[in-house]
Amino acid sequence: MGSFRYLDHTADMGFVARGETLNEAFEEAAKALFNFIIDLKRVKPEKELQISVEGDDYESLLFNWLNELLFQAEHHRMFFSQFKIEYLTPRRLKATVWGETMDRKRHQVNNEVKACTYHLLRVEKKGDNYEVQAVCDV
CATH number, position 34: 3.55.10.10
Percent of the chain with pLDDT over 70: 96
pLDDT tens for residues 118-131?
888 999 999 999 99
Cα 60 to chain centroid distance, Å, stands at 13
Nearest in space to 132 (alpha carbons), one of 49, 71, 57, 47: 57
Highest mean pLDDT range out of 38-42, 73-77, 107-111? 73-77
Confidence of residue 11 (pLDDT cuts 50, 70, 90): low
Higher pLDDT, 5 or 38: 38
Amino acid at 18: R
Highest mean pLDDT range out of 3-17, 48-62, 103-117? 48-62
Range of the domain at 48: 3-137
Confidence of residue 105 (pLDDT cuts 50, 70, 90): confident
Backbone angles phi, psi at 75, to 5 degrees: -60, -45
Q: Indicate the number of domains in the chain.
A: 1
